[in-house]
Structure 1
Amino acid sequence: MKTKQILNTLFAFIGIISLAFTLPISKNIAPKPIRKTIISFEVQGNCGECKERIEHALDKNGIYKAIYNIESSMVNITYDPTKLKEIQLHNMIAMVGHDTEKVKASNVVYQSLPDCCKYRKDDDEWGPVKH
């Protein structure tokens, strides 16, 4: 009888130890803080349609907020620098047809913009096209 009790206790102990090794270990680690950087730079655009296109191009993972100001031709972007580099932001905008301080949109994409959105006077100068 005593042997049976010892065996039951031993099996219970082994079961508890086995269970302890199979359960995930709880870590009391605080979540990483969200990193946010705010950047502003010049982007060429003329109208509300340009504003919508530029802001939509920046509606991506890692970008918390993007606002384009038509009057100042400036975009303000709040983003996570651990997910995106600044040059990627410029490229996202150029890919939809708008020149930035660092990246010029391809001529093919630029020419596909509606006439009201075309801002180049010539290849060397920025500004709204005079109609």
Structure 2
Amino acid sequence: MKKLLFLVIAVLGITTFASAQAKKGIQTVTIQTPTVQCESCKKRIEDYLKREDGVQKANVDFKKHVTKVTFVAERTNIENVKAAIANAGYDADDVKADEEAYKKLPKCCKKTEDGGGGMQ
């Protein structure tokens, strides 16, 4: 009888734990980052996103011009993530890069029409 009771309590505990994990709301989104040019851009965005509250992981693919971000939905949202990328100086979906941050980017990270171009 004690073994059965222990088993029931264990199953309920696991179910509750799994339910609590689902409530944390881990989300992964893919954001178009068309102005990402090179490895330097990749590092800059990934480092910048590490400081964003709730962001667990960021992976920039500069060849495909996309950034995949995993975050805790209770601590941030996709709009905050896009704003963080824009504050680093890069376009993120419909959010344009912050002008001052863009001006501070190294030449290789700027758009070709601004005299830049990636070191691909």
TM-score (norm 2): 0.71
Q: Structure 1 residue 120: deviation in Å?
A: 5.7
Counting aligned pairs with the same residue, the percent is 26
Alignment partner of 1:83 out of 59, 75, 78: 75
Q: How many angstroms apart in 1 are the aligned matches of 2:77 and 2:101?
A: 23
Matched, 1:74 2:66: yes
AA in 1 matched with 2:60: Y
AA in 2 matched with 1:56: D
How well do the aligned residues superpose, as a CA RMSD in angstroms?
Answer: 2.1
Alignment partner of 2:30 out of 33, 40, 50: 40
AA in 2 matched with 1:52: K
Q: Cα deviation per residue 1:88-127 (whole Å; 9 max; x = unaligned)?
A: 00000111111111211122221111100002637xxxxx
- Asked if 2 retains the 8 angstrom alpha-carbon contact of 1:110 and 1:118, the reply is yes
Runs in 1 of length 4+ with deviation above 4 angstroms? none
Q: Please list every run of 5 or more consecutive structure 2 residues that lacks an aligned counterpart in the other structure.
A: 1-12
Determine which structure has greater relative contact order: mean sequence separation of CA pairs < 8 Å that are 6+ residues apart, divided by chain length: 2
Q: Structure 1 residue 76: deviation in Å?
A: 0.5
- Counterpart position of 2:109: 117
Number of equivalences: 97
Higher helix proportion (structure 1 or 2): 2
- Counterpart position of 1:61: 53
AA in 2 matched with 1:45: V
Greater CA radius of gyration, 1 or 2? 1
Q: Please list every run of 5 or more consecutive structure 1 residues that lacks an aligned counterpart in the other structure.
A: 1-27, 123-127
AA in 1 matched with 2:42: K
TM-score (norm 1): 0.66
Q: How many angstroms apart in 2 are the aligned matches of 1:108 and 1:71?
A: 25
